[in-house]
Structure 1
Amino acid sequence: MTLQQTSDHSHLLPCPSLSHVGVLVPWANAVVETELPEWGRGRTVWHYARLVPAHGGTALDDDFLSGLIEAVPGALHQLSRLPLGRVYLACTSAAFTQLDRFTEVATGSPVRVVSAFEAILAQLRSHGARKIALVTPYPDEITEVEVIQFAEQGVIVTGSASLGQADGYAEVTLNQQAALVDQLRKEAVQQADTIVLSCTGWPTRVAIKMLRRRLGRPVTSSNKAIALHALQEHP
């Protein structure tokens, strides 16, 4: 059979079914829409809605985080006419700092809403990872809250490091990420089953590859966890 003959029958080959997934993105986040399709393996159709906090800010503080959660119902309404399997809250810190309110808002949705923090936990559990080293761009106090939330979910944080920034996460460079990881104690990295780059707002695809080679440990991020979670069969 010639190459032309083979291509003539290409329409008969089975194609993987596509899943339609909603994503709620903080309005200043410039990274989520770039990274999710790269990890989606061509099997996911991503539909985005923006979360706009009422106070109109972008800096990571209490008003911003609570404002994102309060904006969830309106963003879900934007997606309500689409045939979605599930929806993701693409802000890790909003979920773990506003857990009760997020649970309340998500419970009222006709479609399951999964936070980036939940997606990370699901990935860790699927790989039997119980200890992590945590790296974030957040202010220190936000990172400390995340350490506590991981502990409450049975995940031990062997060490953590944060940039201490409240904004501008998309501009964080690979060198900054590498330097941040270098702040971790060697023992913290060696004891960790996985390195977690928390936050959907900073670029992590290249960082994950680089850190995996350097550290000899699995590395994941908020956006990678969302993408892999979306590839699972819908409940």
Structure 2
Amino acid sequence: MSQPPEDPLGLLASWDGQAQRTARVGVLLPWANQAVETELPRLGLAHTVFHYARLVPASRTTAVDASFWHGLREAAATAVESLRHLPLDSVALACTSAGFADGPPLPPGVVTAFDALTGVLQTLHASRVVLATPYPGEVTANEAAALAARGIEVAAHTSLGLADGYPGVTGDEIHTLIRQLPADALRTADAVVLSCTGWHTLSVLPDIQQAVGKPVISSNLAMALFAARLAIGAPL
């Protein structure tokens, strides 16, 4: 498998090349998410099939808040039932913030994009990171605390302060976010995290990684890496 430019670490190509079987992953999507179905296929996994089901929160809203996260988690049970006749190796909730927000328990075995993200960081031995998100500042701070609870220190974080509209975030805006991070924090971090499955980040990963000189992990890249590990029988 050739290495796609959106995989600057080369991990996907390496793990996918070791796969002995095809992994099937059910992906539970927030109903307004446009990025996941765009970005996962671009990463070119030859040994993974993604099966999608959309989650409609009872609030019928798209902005990240308590009712949105509660609704996604509540809708997960029905979505998992819709996939039950498929021979799945795993089911992933493709929302990072829902992974560290309060709400009803998820169905047994469902992992979140936040789980995939922390799993990748732990596999890379990245115990100190800088964090950039499109979220409101309070949500970003909550994620930093959730990462710390899993043994990953957040040296600095920055955000766009948006509760909605993530598909419209441009590459220039993401580059500006990274430039806002303190130089000392960037220098001492093991990795840069671009959290949220709802913004399009793959196109900027190679340039940011080249600029900062260390791994850059997005939520969607983390979910692809999680799937690739399943195909070689070594979950994150």
Structure 2 regions of 5+ residues with no counterpart?
A: 1-18
Q: Which amino acid aligns with 2:148?
A: A
Identity of aligned residues (%): 46
- Whether 2:94 is the aligned partner of 1:90: answer yes
Per-residue displacement from partner, 1:86-115 (whole Å, max 9, x unpaired)? 0111000011112x73xx3232xxxx2111
Distance, in Å, in 1 between the alignment partners of 2:116 and 2:87 is 21
Partner of 1:61: 65
Partner of 1:105: 106
Residue from 48, 55, 59 that aligns with 1:51: 55
Say which structure, 1 or 2, has more relative contact order (CA 8 Å, 6+ apart): 2
Report how many residues are paired.
214
Structure 1 regions of 5+ residues with no counterpart?
A: 1-14
Distance, in Å, in 1 between the alignment partners of 2:113 and 2:61 is 21
TM-score (norm 2): 0.87
- Whether 2:226 is the aligned partner of 1:222: answer no
Aligned-residue Cα RMSD (Å) equals 1.4
Partner of 1:10: none
Per-residue displacement from partner, 1:148-192 (whole Å, max 9, x unpaired)? 101111100010000000111011000000011111100111111
- Whether 2:128 is the aligned partner of 1:128: answer no
Q: Kindly state the Cα deviation for residue 16 of structure 1 after the two structures are TM-superposed.
A: 5.3
Q: Kindly state the Cα deviation for residue 40 of structure 1 after the two structures are TM-superposed.
A: 4.7
Distance, in Å, in 1 between the alignment partners of 2:101 and 2:188 is 26
Q: Which amino acid aligns with 2:124?
A: H
More helix as a share of residues:
1
Partner of 1:213: 210
Q: Kindly state the Cα deviation for residue 206 of structure 1 after the two structures are TM-superposed.
A: 1.1
Per-residue displacement from partner, 1:22-71 (whole Å, max 9, x unpaired)? 00000000000111122252211110000100010111111111111111
Q: Of the two, which has the highest radius of gyration?
A: 1
Per-residue displacement from partner, 1:178-228 (whole Å, max 9, x unpaired)? 011111100111111000000000011111111001111110011100101
Q: Secondary structure of the residue that 1:105 maps to in structure 2?
A: coil
Partner of 2:170: 173
- Whether 2:146 is the aligned partner of 1:149: answer yes
Q: Does the 8 Å contact 1:37/1:44 carry over to 2?
A: no
